[in-house]
């Protein structure tokens, strides 16, 4: 299938307050963000025309900017509204929303105090790729050679573009060797996360264990799945997990806006059974996003 490049499509992108024709939403080659990675972004999912956990994503975007020492020049309410407008203008029913904030072209050096903060929001159609049955087979993963950095080495709480450099390298190596994705350990050698998703294990004690997010993203999906699991009566343990402990895990799965809940079949030599916990939480997550979508539609409908 031919690739449809992201800069050559029909539609509308919200750029610094203006709904802009897709192909005209440009930035200059001399932009601070391009050279020095001074950009933060979000990834949001649209279900039935409504953005799941929109305000949580918007708040994280603004906080990510603060961590990179800049103030996104719009309020949470303004960004929420702009995200909804982009979804509506592009007629997205099931899709993805990508807000990004970045330092512009006013200065070109390490110091960027006076750069303008730009904001763009794009959205595209992105129906569920796999049926739950296909996803149930589970991902084949390898251990990455790269580690999540320590919090005093990088701004690890920010969803900052620069933190993805080692994710792309890890994912490329995994794909080149026939794997779906890579598991990254942290700077201490504990299990951290995949290249764009958090990880959970159903251990032999029947409890769900997930790494403490003290040097990587505490995913919005992660928090949703923790709530759903507790409602099902699972005890959820957040702690440091050594990679050897994966030998005791019966099930393992990823959580994230893009992957939703996806079982893992193996990580290197460790293998897991995509079982009841995975299936239950996949279904519960699916129900939760649809429920939230209907509720949001009712609220916006009654407000109109
Ligand atoms: N970790 C990384 C590195 C990610 O890119 C993502 C996706 N944003 C996640 C975890 C999961 O976060 P969320 O559930 O908020 O999408």
* Per-residue pLDDT tens over the stretch 25-57: 999 999 999 999 999 999 999 999 999 999 999
Q: Is the pLDDT of residue 17 over 60?
A: yes
* Ligand 1 geometric centre to CA of 301 (Å): 30
The whole-angstrom distance between residue 190's C-alpha and the CA centroid of its chain comes to: 21
* Ligand 1 geometric centre to CA of 207 (Å): 23
Nearest CA to ligand 1 atom 7: 196
* Ligand 1 geometric centre to CA of 14 (Å): 23
Helix pair 276-303, 220-231: axis angle to 10 deg: 110
Q: Is the pLDDT of residue 2 over 80?
A: no
Which numbered atom of ligand 1 lies nearest the CA of 198?
Answer: 10
Predicted pLDDT of residue 283: 96
Predicted pLDDT of residue 175: 95
Average pLDDT for the chain: 96
Nearest CA to ligand 1 atom 5: 196
Predicted pLDDT of residue 188: 98
Nearest CA to ligand 1 atom 4: 196
Marked catalytic residue, from 140, 159, 171, 294 = 159
* Ligand 1 geometric centre to CA of 70 (Å): 21
Which numbered atom of ligand 1 lies nearest the CA of 258?
Answer: 16
Predicted pLDDT of residue 134: 76
Under DSSP, the state recorded for 172 is: H
Nearest CA to ligand 1 atom 12: 219
Under DSSP, the state recorded for 160 is: B
Predicted pLDDT of residue 131: 73
Domains of the chain, each with CATH number or no CATH: 12-125 (3.30.470.10), 132-290 (3.20.10.10)
Predicted pLDDT of residue 89: 98
Which numbered atom of ligand 1 lies nearest the CA of 220?
Answer: 15
Q: Ligand 1: which of 41, 43, 166 to mutate, judged by most atoms within 8 Å of the beta carbon?
A: 43
* Ligand 1 geometric centre to CA of 263 (Å): 16
Confidence category of residue 129, pLDDT binned at 50, 70, 90: low
pTM for the whole structure: 0.96
Q: Is the pLDDT of residue 304 over 60?
A: no
Predicted pLDDT of residue 3: 80
Number of CB atoms found within 10 A of residue 230's CB: 12
Calpha distance 136→286 (Å, rounded): 14
Q: Ligand 1: which of 148, 197, 259 to mutate, judged by most atoms within 8 Å of the beta carbon?
A: 197
Residue 159 appears among annotated catalytic residues: yes
Calpha distance 219→199 (Å, rounded): 10
Residues ≥6 apart with Cβ < 8 Å to 249: 201, 202, 203, 204, 209, 270, 272
Q: Is the pLDDT of residue 139 over 70?
A: yes
Residue 96 three-state SS: strand
* Per-residue pLDDT tens over the stretch 151-207: 999 999 999 999 999 999 999 999 999 999 999 999 999 999 999 999 999 999 999
Nearest CA to ligand 1 atom 10: 197
Residues ≥6 apart with Cβ < 8 Å to 154: 162, 163
Residue 225 and residue 249 in contact, taking contact as beta carbons nearer than 8 Å: no
Which numbered atom of ligand 1 lies nearest the CA of 163?
Answer: 3
* Per-residue pLDDT tens over the stretch 262-299: 999 999 999 999 999 999 999 999 999 999 999 999 88
Pocket residues: Cβ below 6 A from ligand 1:
43, 167, 193, 196-198, 216-217, 219-222, 255-257
Which numbered atom of ligand 1 lies nearest the CA of 43?
Answer: 8
What number of CA atoms fall less than 13 Å from residue 170's CA on the CB side?
22
The whole-angstrom distance between residue 21's C-alpha and the CA centroid of its chain comes to: 26
Residue 109 and residue 69 in contact, taking contact as beta carbons nearer than 8 Å: no
Confidence category of residue 128, pLDDT binned at 50, 70, 90: confident
Q: What are the helix (H) ranges across the chain?
A: 32-36, 54-67, 76-89, 132-136, 165-176, 220-231, 276-303
Angle at 10 between CA 4 and CA 16, to 5 degrees: 110
* Per-residue pLDDT tens over the stretch 211-242: 999 999 999 999 999 999 999 999 999 999 99
């Amino acid at each position: 299938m031919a690739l449809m490049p992201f800069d050559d499509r029909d539609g509308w992108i919200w750029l610094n307050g203006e709904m802009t024709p897709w192909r005209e939403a440009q930035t200059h080659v001399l932009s601070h963000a391009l050279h020095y990675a001074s950009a933060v972004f979000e990834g949001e999912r649209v279900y039935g025309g409504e953005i799941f956990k929109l305000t949580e994503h918007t708040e994280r975007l603004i906080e990510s900017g603060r961590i990179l020492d800049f103030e996104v020049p719009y309020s949470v309410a303004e960004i929420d509204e702009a995200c909804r407008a982009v979804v509506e203008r592009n007629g997205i029913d099931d899709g993805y929303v990508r807000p990004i904030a970045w330092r512009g072209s006013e200065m070109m050096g390490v110091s960027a105090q006076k750069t303008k903060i730009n904001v763009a929001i794009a959205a595209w159609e992105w129906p569920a790729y796999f049926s739950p049955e296909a996803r149930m087979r589970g991902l084949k993963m390898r251990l990455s050679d790269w580690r999540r950095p320590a919090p005093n080495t990088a701004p690890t709480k920010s969803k900052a573009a620069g933190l993805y450099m080692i994710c792309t390298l890890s994912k490329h190596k995994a794909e080149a060797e026939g794997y779906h994705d890579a598991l990254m350990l942290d700077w201490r050698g504990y299990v951290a996360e995949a290249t764009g998703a958090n990880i959970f294990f159903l251990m032999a004690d029947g409890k769900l264990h997930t790494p403490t997010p003290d040097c990587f993203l505490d995913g919005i999906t992660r928090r949703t799945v923790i709530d759903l699991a507790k409602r099902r009566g699972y005890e959820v343990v957040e702690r440091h997990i050594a990679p050897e402990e994966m030998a005791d895990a019966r099930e393992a799965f990823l959580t994230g806006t893009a992957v939703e809940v996806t079982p893992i079949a193996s990580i290197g030599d460790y293998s897991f059974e995509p079982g009841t916990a995975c299936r239950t939480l996949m279904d519960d997550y699916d129900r939760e996003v649809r429920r939230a979508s209907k509720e949001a539609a009712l609220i916006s409908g009654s407000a109109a």
